[in-house]
Structure 1
Amino acid sequence: MSRRIALSVVAGAVVLAGAGAFALAYAGDQAPALADSTARYTAPEGARDGSFSFSTEVTASSGVKSVKVLAWPEKSGLAAKQLTAEEMNEAESARCEAAGSGTVRCAYTAAVTVGDAASSPRGTWHVAVLATAEDGTTTLDTEAVDFTVG
């Protein structure tokens, strides 16, 4: 092999190694990603409470530290004022279980009493989700999924 070819091969290997290291470093800084979010609302019936349930999958290269969930009616003051991550930190936490490399499946369930249902606005509701990774990066999706209160 000529000296020029050998130098080209070495230079190419150095460039590829540097690009790989950059890709790994960049991947570590990725914000958590939400997928497969679903919500279900069941109205109370008779003496039996209803329920609200939400589930999602969250992936973060550094691991998932927490997932906060807040259901809010489309016809409310929150529609005009966007939720912030700071406000979402006060929301309820979802329960999460490992589902693979850097991925967790999270679920949140709340009972809906007759009184809750009577005082809740009818129509479209949104579910806001704040996912926080172990490295501190966050993802806030104020409309991760919708459901209807009839």
Structure 2
Amino acid sequence: MPRRRVALSVAAGAVALAGVGAFTAAQAGERSPALAHSTARYTAPTGDRDGSFTFTTDVTASSGIDSLKVLAWPADSALGEKGPTAEEMADVESATCEPAADDTVRCTYTTAVTRSDAADSPRGTWHVAVLATAKNGTTTSDPRAADFKVG
């Protein structure tokens, strides 16, 4: 094969590999956020002190995290087996997220639980639903990221 063809073949191969690499990098950037180490803690009010509900999770996304929405819901509710949808989660409160590692943030949501809140809340198992939205627009919805008991 003449040198000119070899040079053109090598150049075309390099362009093709660069294109595949760029496509792979773009696809890697499109991954949905990943949740890990999710925990929920409920503390009932005692005496004259409010209780609290705290949810914490680690979220990894190569493009960064735009928001993490959190909703606690009773297992024996109208939400049934599936839990809230991503659309239903859009207007709920957001957690506060702080950097934890390269592409990972630790998100925490905390709210007070008053005596009135506790008295009006169903007893038993509750689930925590989350909607993580990355800066690139991809989302991850988990209707049962963690569980806790109200008793």
TM-score band by shorter chain is 0.7 to 0.9
- Report whether the alignment pairs 1:135 with 2:124: no
Distance 2:128 2:33 in 1: 17
Q: How far apart are residue 119 of structure 1 and its match?
A: 1.1
Q: How far apart are residue 102 of structure 1 and its match?
A: 2.2
Q: Secondary structure at the match of 1:77?
A: coil
One-letter identity of the residue aligned with 1:117: A
How many residues were matched structurally?
A: 149
Structure 1, 9-18 or 127-136: larger mean CA deviation: 9-18
In the TM superposition, what are the counterparts of 1:86-105 in structure 2 within 5 Å? 86-105=87-106
Q: When the two structures are superposed, what TM-score results if normalisation uses the length of structure 1? A: 0.87
In the TM superposition, what are the counterparts of 1:1-150 in structure 2 within 5 Å? 17-80=18-81, 82-150=83-151
Q: How far apart are residue 84 of structure 1 and its match?
A: 1.6
Distance 1:64 1:30 in 2: 12
One-letter identity of the residue aligned with 1:122: R
Segments of structure 1 that go 5 or more residues without pairing to the other structure are: none
Structure 1, 17-26 or 122-131: larger mean CA deviation: 17-26
Q: How far apart are residue 87 of structure 1 and its match?
A: 1.2
Structure 1, 17-26 or 97-106: larger mean CA deviation: 17-26
Q: When the two structures are superposed, what TM-score results if normalisation uses the length of structure 2? A: 0.86
Distance 2:63 2:80 in 1: 32
Query: 4+ residue stretches of structure 1 with deviation over 6 A?
Result: 5-12
One-letter identity of the residue aligned with 1:50: G
One-letter identity of the residue aligned with 2:129: A
Aligned-residue sequence identity (percent) comes to: 68
Change (3 A) 1:80 1:35: closer
Q: How far apart are residue 14 of structure 1 and its match?
A: 5.9
RMSD: 2.2
Q: How far apart are residue 93 of structure 1 and its match?
A: 0.6
Q: How far apart are residue 18 of structure 1 and its match?
A: 4.3
Q: Is the 8 A contact 2:83 2:129 kept in 1?
A: no
Q: Secondary structure at the match of 2:71?
A: strand
Distance 2:124 2:16 in 1: 56
Q: Secondary structure at the match of 2:100?
A: strand
Q: Deviations over 1:40-90 (max 9, x none)?
A: 001111111111000011111111100100000000001256412121011
Q: How far apart are residue 23 of structure 1 and its match?
A: 2.2
Q: Secondary structure at the match of 2:49?
A: coil
Segments of structure 2 that go 5 or more residues without pairing to the other structure are: 1-5
Q: Secondary structure at the match of 1:78?
A: coil
